[in-house]
């Protein structure tokens, strides 16, 4: 077992490169939504060149003292010419204002997308004349070595970028390829098994942006990577390319690939009314795609768990939800699934809703509203049936499914405008 990092000393990562971050072993959740059974680390780095020192990222504000102690063990503040913030979220930028104050000769290098965030997060007077915006193709000169930048937005904020030190083969990747796993042995060949944390972090942080993940992988895959130095978790010096491959696999499209369009009908039903409506919706969808161009699936939420359904939804093209209205609301299993959709990219999918009700029928418009807020397209009015659905209600459900499928196939009729409904 390799030695744990000393509390006050920087840790050598590569020639002229030191880790100067902080450990947070007691953290048990991050950004409210992530469980962090093993805590986390806020990784920051110092890179020494013949003509200056660059600091790459800082730490969460309340870990500043440790960060500055480690920094001071490898550099003087008047040597710092360059501060790179690969990502401005406060867990990486907490010590930035104080660092700018202590290193008055340093420029701050961030991506162009960071402009608005800088304004929102920091006192403008602290940044005046200090900020340089850099993108792919730009570099920072440290004398005998250069830092190169890759604009990699939405991993997982708009401002994120990666920084490449070709002289040592080190990629500073911010949250990308990181994970919440605190282990003071620091390097992936020395720490405990963190594979679960690596995948968990991808699924909860990067997954909604998987198209951007793939674009970023395209940018960095051809680099002669020796070390990946992320913003959280172990530094990946043993087989770093394995982690790139893992991201490639995690972000790949699912098994359906370029197969038929997929339409999922989810429902839950107390007395069978909404279930029979769901069956009519599914039959209507089938009738529009008799040639197999749309794969229609029907799922009872009462018998399922959210996570496998989320996996299905990520690959689907249309989502139709059926819920009864109970006490003026859609029922909890429906909301549980809808609240899980922030984990995946559902923007632009087609959505619709239906359900039976006793008095007021709020569930359908509430689901439709949620779907719109998740940026699905909801081109069709939902179907509500009071108590026992009538023949007309089932016909409307059949038509709803049929029309959703036609939308998927690009064969939907233009929407008729009811002139009488206009003021």
The site for ligand FEO (CB under 6 A) is made up of 87, 89, 91-92, 156-157, 175, 231-232
Name residue 371's beta-bridge partners: none
- Shortest spacing between CB 36 and ligand FEO, in angstroms: 11
Distance (Å, whole) CA 81 – CA 103? 8
Between 163 and 325, name the residue whose CB sits nearer to ligand FEO.
163
- Shortest spacing between CB 59 and ligand FEO, in angstroms: 10
DSSP string, 210-256: HHHHHHHHHHHTTS--SEEEESSS-BB-SSHHHHHHHHHHHTS--TT
**Residue 320: is it exposed, middle or buried by C-beta count within 10 angstroms (0-12/13-18/19+)?**
buried
Between 91 and 286, name the residue whose CB sits nearer to ligand FEO.
91
- Shortest spacing between CB 24 and ligand FEO, in angstroms: 11
- Shortest spacing between CB 109 and ligand FEO, in angstroms: 18
- Shortest spacing between CB 31 and ligand FEO, in angstroms: 8
**Apex CA 174: angle with CA 137 and CA 200, to 5°?**
135
Between 70 and 92, name the residue whose CB sits nearer to ligand FEO.
92
- Shortest spacing between CB 130 and ligand FEO, in angstroms: 22
Between 21 and 324, name the residue whose CB sits nearer to ligand FEO.
21
84 CB-near residues (< 8 Å, 6+ apart): 54, 55, 56, 57, 109, 110, 140, 147, 163, 172
**Residue 334: is it exposed, middle or buried by C-beta count within 10 angstroms (0-12/13-18/19+)?**
buried
Between 200 and 357, name the residue whose CB sits nearer to ligand FEO.
200
Helices 210-220, 240-250: inter-axial angle, 10-degree rounding: 150
Between 77 and 157, name the residue whose CB sits nearer to ligand FEO.
157
- Shortest spacing between CB 85 and ligand FEO, in angstroms: 11
- Please give the structure tokens belonging to residue 211: 């198209």
Q: Count Cβ atoms below 10 Å from residue 192 Cβ, excluding itself.
A: 11
Between 87 and 370, name the residue whose CB sits nearer to ligand FEO.
87
Distance (Å, whole) CA 291 – CA 22? 59
| Residue whose Cβ sits closest to ligand FEO | 89
């Amino acid at each position: 077992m390799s030695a744990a990092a000393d509390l006050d000393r920087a840790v050598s990562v590569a020639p002229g490169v030191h880790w100067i971050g902080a450990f947070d072993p007691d953290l048990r959740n991050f950004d409210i939504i992530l469980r962090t059974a093993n805590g986390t680390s806020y990784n920051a780095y110092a890179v020494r060149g013949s003509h200056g020192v660059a600091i790459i990222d800082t730490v969460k504000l309340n870990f500043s003292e440790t960060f500055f102690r480690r920094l001071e063990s490898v550099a003087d503040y008047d040597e710092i010419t360059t501060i790179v913030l690969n990502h401005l979220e406060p867990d990486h930028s907490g010590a930035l204002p104080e660092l700018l104050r202590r290193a008055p000769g340093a420029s701050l290098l961030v991506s162009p997308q960071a402009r608005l965030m800088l304004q929102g997060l920091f006192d403008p007077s602290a940044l005046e004349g200090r900020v340089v915006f850099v993108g792919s193709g730009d570099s920072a000169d440290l004398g005998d070595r250069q830092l190169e930048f890759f604009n990699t937005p939405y991993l997982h904020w708009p401002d994120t970028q990666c920084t490449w030190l070709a002289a040592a083969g080190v990629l500073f990747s911010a949250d990308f390829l990181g994970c919440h796993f605190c282990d003071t042995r620091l390097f992936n060949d020395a720490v405990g098994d963190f594979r679960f944390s690596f995948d968990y972090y991808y699924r909860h942080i990067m997954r909604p942006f998987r198209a951007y993940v793939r674009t970023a992988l395209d940018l960095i895959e051809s680099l002669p990577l020796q070390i990946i130095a992320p913003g959280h978790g172990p530094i990946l010096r043993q087989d770093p390319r394995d982690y790139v491959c893992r991201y490639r696999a995690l972000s790949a499209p699912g098994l359906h690939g370029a197969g038929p369009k997929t339409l999922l009908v989810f429902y839950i039903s107390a007395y069978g009314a909404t279930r029979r409506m769901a069956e009519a919706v599914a039959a209507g969808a089938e009738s529009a795609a008799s040639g197999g161009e749309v794969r229609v699936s029907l799922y009872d939420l009462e018998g399922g768990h959210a996570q496998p359904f989320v996996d299905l939804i990520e690959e689907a093209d249309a989502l139709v939800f059926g819920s009864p209205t109970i006490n003026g609301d859609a029922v909890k299993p429906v909301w549980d699934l809808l609240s899980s959709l922030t984990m995946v990219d559902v923007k632009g999918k087609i959505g619709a809703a239906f359900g039976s009700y006793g008095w007021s029928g709020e569930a359908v418009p509430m689901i439709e509203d949620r779907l719109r807020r998740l940026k699905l397209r909801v081109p069709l009015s939902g179907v509500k049936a009071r108590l026992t659905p009538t023949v007309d209600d089932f016909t409307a459900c059949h038509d709803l499914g049929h029309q959703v499928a036609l939308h998927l196939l690009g064969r939907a009729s233009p929407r008729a405008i009811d002139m009488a409904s206009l003021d």
